[in-house]
Amino acid sequence: MRLVLASLAAMLVAAPIAEAATPTAEAARYKRCRGIVDAGPTGSDPADVKGLRARNISCRRARRVARRWLGPDKTIADDGSVRFVGWLCRDEIGEVNGVDRTKVRCKKRGGRRVRFYLG
């Protein structure tokens, strides 16, 4: 009886830990935010910010981060990453809905994250 109770307790403890490590749990922490229509001259046409996601940050601030990434006052490092006001952003060309788009991921201390793509 003790063995059954011990193994049941171990299963109850292990289940939430295994569930938290899944990719869907990681994605669930991001909230969907409204994008930005015609974000300005970017060299990418159309220049709309879509698929905007935010974690540990408000949607309003996430849109502000996307606008700053598009703006002229940023520092581009040797590895291609972009830095501004404590944010580190990396971009890559990837497929979104069957079309190649510029995907951007930004992070800042405190677990703050912003993701979006142009298109």
| Residue 100 is assigned to a structural domain of this protein | yes
What 3-state DSSP class applies to 94?
strand
| Residue 3 is assigned to a structural domain of this protein | no
| Residue 25 is assigned to a structural domain of this protein | no
pLDDT tens, residue by residue, 5-26:
555 555 555 555 444 445 555 5
pTM over 0.85: no
In the chain, the number of structural domains is 1
What domain range is 114 assigned to? 31-118
| Residue 15 is assigned to a structural domain of this protein | no
Give the count of beta carbons closer than 10 Å to the beta carbon of residue 44. 14
pLDDT of residue 31: 95
